[in-house]
Amino acid sequence: MQLKCTAEPIWQSDPMRFTLKKKNYDDLRGDDLLVPRMLIVVCVPEDVDRWIDQNEERMILQRCGYFLSLRTFPARSNGKSPVTVPIPRRQQFTVAALRDIMCEIGQGRRP
């Protein structure tokens, strides 16, 4: 899983649009990978002091994370130009979503 973070208000649209360096895009895409790969984008408030509240009992992140499998995304031949990918807002990276992803992988399927 490749984790990215943004304070841009991309979460206000559906699908969200997130721009990756072409190298990151290429590293995450493809159906012939031995280990499944996933992009996770965490949306955070602009104010760094509001990103996280943490102590020994809990860790609370503000806003939300979203996931996307680029497994079936096409190769891009546009040199080193960044690639913008659509992430549906319904694909929240929750405990249940992580459990489902891990179950799929455990059953030999690719998310």
**Confidence (pLDDT) at 107:** 83
Query: Percent of the chain scored above 90 by pLDDT?
Result: 46
The predicted model gives 90-103 an average pLDDT of: 91
- What's the average model confidence in pLDDT over 69-77? 87
pLDDT at 82: 93
Cis peptide before 86 (omega within 30 of 0): no
State pTM to two decimals. 0.83
For the cut 90, the answer to whether the pLDDT of residue 51 exceeds it is: no
Per-residue pLDDT at 86 exceeds 90: yes
Task: Decide if 109 contacts 101 (C-beta within 8 A).
Answer: no
Length of the chain: 111
Q: pLDDT per residue over 2-42, tens digit each?
A: 999 999 988 889 999 999 999 999 999 877 767 788 999 99
Residue 56: what pLDDT? 94
What are the φ/ψ torsions at residue 28 (nearest 5 degrees)? -90, -20
Query: How crowded is residue 96: how many other Cβ atoms within 10 Å of its Cβ?
Result: 9
